[in-house]
Structure 1
Amino acid sequence: MSAMTRQGVAKLLARQGILVAFVLFMVVFAIANQRFLAIDNISGVIRSSAILGVMALGVTFVVIGGNLDLSVGSMMSFSTIVVLDLHDKLGPTLAIPAMFGLTLLLGAFIGVLVGYLKLNSLIVTLGMLSAIHGLTLTWSGGKNMDIADKEATWFSVFGQGDIVGIPVPILIFALLAGALSLVLGRTPFGRKVYAVGGNGVAATFSGVPRARVVFFTYLISAFCVATAGLIQASRSLGSQNTVGQGMELEVLAAVILGGASLLGGSGTVFKTVIGVLILGFIQNGLLLVGLEFYAQYIVTWIIIILAVWLDIAAKRGRLWSSIA
């Protein structure tokens, strides 16, 4: 291979390393099982990944802004329980905006603590993880929630419906990803998010309102969590009060797998979508090849580490760091 060809390959991997990894995973699993690329299987994987994906879209803003949000799992449980409970008390027309309002209040509270009071986002959101879980249990009385008359409600459309043959959860995921991609990549606010995450001090001295930008990243995250809770509640018309427990780690894994840096300042919505799909298709592919569910966790972790390692290696042009 000539030096020019090697440089071209290196540039391709540097720019689209995670996308190349995604294609490789798809090829390997397609060879291992012919059902993997069946339309119904692909649609099913994307549909089942929509809830995780919607949450990851909001967390992408938070991470690019240089912070973390470990409260999204508990917040998703809260939004799901609230909308199910209010459905029977107020009806879906009022329950949905009420749930969004309460979830946005939680996001705003976190945004004030991290953005304006400048508290450590890891500590704040870790504490909020427990606090919101307690709030969810208090709201539900420690019980699971179910809609009383599941046959008479139109609420199921968000999780079970389809439009022109496309499942509604996939449409919501795609539309939200497209809208947030435009916000992050094409608006002054998006540029400010990158600036704050890349160098908060320099951004502040340049006139960027750091506190306000961080505050709104948490509002966006809360909005996405509320949307995910709506889909989750609508899909089953009932839920355990711990439905989102542990999802914060999967969401963060998808965002980092998509190339966003924990140090802030880098990442895109599109690559987060790819990270979500990689997680979904890896789990599906391992299931189709007959791997036991408990072994899938280990293999998934190994594949994630390899994908991130190769992506980073491609960007620096070598597999190993030059620093011992």
Structure 2
Amino acid sequence: MAGWTRSDIGGFLAKQGILIAFFLFIIGFTIANERFLAPENIMGVVRSSAILGVMALGVTFVVISGNLDLSVGSMMSFSTIVVLDLHDKLGPALAIPAMFALTLCLGALIGFLVGYLKLNSLIVTLGMLSAIHGLTLTYSGGKNMDIADKGGTWFSIFGQGEIFGIPVPILIFVGLAALLGIVLARTPFGRKVYAVGGNGVAATFSGIRRARIVFACYLLSSFCVATAGLIQASRSLGSQNTVGQGLELEVLAAVILGGASLLGGSGTIFKTIIGVLILGFIQNGLLLVGLQFYAQYVVTWIIIILAVWLDIAAKRGRLWSPLA
């Protein structure tokens, strides 16, 4: 770094600081516990991160379009409870599409409020977080859901199955990531998402229907949440009605860690995957070194603050505000 100015170093840390911190975490966790880099532990982390990752894929589109979605956690609880309940009433072949349809209706409602009525996405999705949570409790009667015949259903394939030794949740995550990565990077729709998030007014004057793009992003996010709910329900064949509570912050942290800007207009699916894995490995490392699971909440908060700081710093090219 010979010849670099203080501003150059600050800009580099702003753009790559989270990756540097991640590698330092990896080194520290490996020294503290040799099991950290064991193949079975790595596979376990990726598998356990699949649900969070699938949700993060959809939220990536929402964030790039310049909006937020804080309803994904409660929406995942809703989709999980619904598909488990309908499994015994209708059978899995009908329960799955019915759950997707209901979850997409929730996404369409949010997309309509934010896209067409132009309401603030933070306020709308924060309100929907509570509303959908209440809807889930009402639907379930405040009770948890379980499949009656856990040993006689093919429904478990989505969460417990393997294909060629690879867990199905990982295959779903990777397959959906590949598809959405192509959509975002290689299609006119993807370019419009970037345009709307980068400068909504300019996008509108250039002929892009901003409301339609925002609506589609929320619809896509709800589809990903329904997929995550399917995996969650299939993995345990039963669930608490609050299974997704708090996941919205982890999803947002993973997306921002991957480089998507809260200001909109930047981010990629590949980087979101990296953000998901960073969060997954850090949480796994904390457990291996002996910290209790509730310590993850504090670490997640610290990571969110760090990611937002680096995001803003990357925009201005320095770590510290010129006024500091």
TM tier relative to shorter chain = over 0.9
Q: Distance in 1 between matches of 2:67 and 2:303?
A: 25
**1:186 correspondence with 2:182:** no
Closer, same or farther: CA 299–87 of 1 in aligned 2, 3 Å: closer
Amino acid corresponding to residue 121 of structure 1 in structure 2: S
Q: Distance in 2 between matches of 1:214 and 1:136?
A: 25
Residue equivalent to 2:126: 126
Moved more, 150-159 or 257-266: 257-266
Q: Distance in 2 between matches of 1:108 and 1:33?
A: 46
Q: Superposed, which structure 2 residues align to 1:261-272 within 5 Å?
A: 261-272=261-272
**1:106 correspondence with 2:106:** yes
Closer, same or farther: CA 307–264 of 1 in aligned 2, 3 Å: closer
Shift of 1:154: 0.5
Shift of 1:316: 5.0
TM-score by length of 1: 0.92
Q: Distance in 2 between matches of 1:299 and 1:113?
A: 33
Shift of 1:26: 2.0
Closer, same or farther: CA 110–313 of 1 in aligned 2, 3 Å: closer
Q: Superposed, which structure 2 residues align to 1:251-266 within 5 Å?
A: 251-266=251-266
SS in 2 for 1:56: helix
Closer, same or farther: CA 153–255 of 1 in aligned 2, 3 Å: same
Closer, same or farther: CA 178–10 of 1 in aligned 2, 3 Å: farther
Residue equivalent to 1:205: 205
Q: Distance in 2 between matches of 1:143 and 1:313?
A: 46
Residue equivalent to 2:35: 35
Amino acid corresponding to residue 44 of structure 1 in structure 2: G
Identity in percent:
83
Residue equivalent to 2:74: 74
Q: Deviations over 1:150-181 (max 9, x none)?
A: 00000001001111111111111111111111
Q: Superposed, which structure 2 residues align to 1:1-324 within 5 Å?
A: 1-3=1-3, 17-306=17-306, 309=309, 313=313, 317-324=317-324
Shift of 1:14: 6.6
Q: Distance in 2 between matches of 1:140 and 1:290?
A: 36
Q: Distance in 2 between matches of 1:133 and 1:175?
A: 29
Q: Deviations over 1:61-104 (max 9, x none)?
A: 10110111111111101100110111111111111111111111
Q: Deviations over 1:233-279 (max 9, x none)?
A: 00000011111111111111111122211111111111111111111
Question: Is the CA contact 1:78–1:241 (under 8 Å) kept in the aligned structure 2?
Answer: yes
Structure 2: tracts of 5 or more residues without a match: none
Q: Distance in 2 between matches of 1:224 and 1:33?
A: 34
Question: Is the CA contact 2:253–2:303 (under 8 Å) kept in the aligned structure 1?
Answer: no
Shift of 1:142: 1.6
Amino acid corresponding to residue 180 of structure 1 in structure 2: L
SS in 2 for 1:191: helix
SS in 2 for 1:155: helix
TM-score by length of 2: 0.92
Shift of 1:19: 3.9
Q: Distance in 1 between matches of 2:135 and 2:35?
A: 43
C-alpha RMSD of the superposition: 2.3
Q: Distance in 1 between matches of 2:209 and 2:17?
A: 33
Q: Distance in 2 between matches of 1:244 and 1:299?
A: 19
Q: Deviations over 1:10-35 (max 9, x none)?
A: 88767655444433332221122110
Q: Distance in 1 between matches of 2:120 and 2:299?
A: 33
Question: Is the CA contact 2:68–2:122 (under 8 Å) kept in the aligned structure 1?
Answer: yes
Moved more, 96-105 or 131-140: 131-140
Amino acid corresponding to residue 216 of structure 1 in structure 2: A
Moved more, 312-321 or 197-206: 312-321
